[in-house]
Amino acid sequence: MKVGIMGAMHQEIEHIKKRMQVDAEKCIANRVYNTGKIDNTEVVLVFSNWGKVASASTATTLIQHFKCDFVIFTGVAGALAPDLNIGDIVVGSAAVQHDMDASPMFPRCEIPLTGITFFKVEEKHASSAVEAAKSFLAGVDEKIGQKTLSQFFISKPIVRLGLIATGDQFIQDKKAHIGLNFIEEKQPQAVEMEGAAVAQVCHDNNVPFVIFRTISDKADHSAHIDFEAFINQIAGQYAGGIVEEFMRASFG
Ligand code: SAH
């Protein structure tokens, strides 16, 4: 078993790296891949870069070059469900490319020539991911500290299993995107820029994957937290802790 771990924020990579024994570093196509181990499992850790093409390219290298047979994705995302708050975690049950539109040849959001609109995460992996995120959050007060959490108005963060919407736009007005409106009835929980692209690559290569997303904004124009501070003090710690829990439970 070799696990590819992709993070969409440099600070996430740093926190995951702290839990890893790094044996080597290799640069391929503008990405830096750290190879080594977490406990006894071989891992390859990489910053995914942002957007669908960049993250698809990174996932392809993890699978084709490094021969990873599992992919973990961590990053931040905008909330689509109105009851989700900053600091909550969305675990993907499936991922969809909300900006794909090859109509009238294919229905909106369907990936041309595949018949697929929703890339599903295998149920057993999705439920292990939910358990890992829950067990991380169970001790979040001690791990991050109440003072820091309250700085970002985080209190009693939750884990939500659900659909993740991916597209090549940073969404600040969720109502203005036709693709997002089109899939609204499927109740997408979070919007981001990589998940469904990585999911498509994993699907093509028959490699299982999980997606963790920490909510960093509400995909609207509402008052913004200090994003840099949030990534440093919250999202990085979340990624490190969640990956640790997931690795231990699934491969430890
Ligand atoms: N706003 C940040 C930049 C976020 S960068 C800043 O000020 O620096 C983009 C990353 O955030 C991508 O990995 C993307 O997946 C994720 N993301 C977070 N919120 C998002 C949103 N509302 N829409 C799209 N992507 C989002």
For the chain, the 3-state helix, strand and coil shares in percent, each to the nearest 5, are: 40, 30, 35
- For residue 27, what pLDDT is reported? 98
pLDDT of residue 224: 72
Q: Rounded mean pLDDT of the chain?
A: 97
- List the one residue out of 99, 55, 80, 220 whose CA is nearest residue 162: 80
Domain boundaries, the chain: 2-251
Q: Is 192 helix (H, G, I), strand (E, B) or coil?
A: strand
Q: Distance between CA atoms of 147 and 153, rounded to whole angstroms?
A: 10
* pTM (global) more than 0.85: yes
- What residues are paired with 31 via a beta bridge? 28
For residue 100, pLDDT over 90 is answered with yes
- In whole angstroms, what is the distance from residue 110 CA to residue 247 CA? 32
- Give the percent of the chain with pLDDT over 90: 97
- Given the residues 99, 192, 217, 245, select the one marked as catalytic: 217
Tokens linked to 118: 């929703």
Mean pLDDT of 177-196: 97
- Could you give the 3-state DSSP secondary structure of residue 183? coil
Q: What digits encode the pLDDT tens for the residues 129-182?
A: 999 999 999 999 999 999 999 999 999 999 999 999 999 999 999 999 999 999
Rounded average pLDDT over 16-21: 98
Distance from Cα 212 to the centre of ligand 1, integer Å: 14
Ligand 1 pocket residue status of 58, Cβ below 6 Å: no
Q: According to the model, what pLDDT value does residue 117 have? A: 98
Answer whether residue 183 shows pLDDT above 80: yes
Q: Is 194 a pocket residue for ligand 1 (Cβ < 6 Å)?
A: yes
- Give dist(CA 53, CA 131) in Å, integer: 30
Q: What is the mean pLDDT of residues 10-24?
A: 98
Total Cβ atoms within 10 A of residue 221: 9
The string of DSSP codes covering 208-231 is -EEEEEEEEE-SSSS----HHHHI
Mean pLDDT of 189-211: 98
23 tagged catalytic:
no
Indicate the burial class of 27 (C-beta count within 10 angstroms; 0-12, 13-18, 19 or more): exposed
Q: Is 70 exceeded by the pLDDT of residue 223?
A: no
Indicate whether 55 pLDDT > 70: yes
50 lines ligand 1 (CB under 6 A): yes
CATH number listed for the domain at residues 2-251: 3.40.50.1580
The pLDDT, as a whole number, for residue 131 is 98
Indicate if 123 belongs to the active site. no
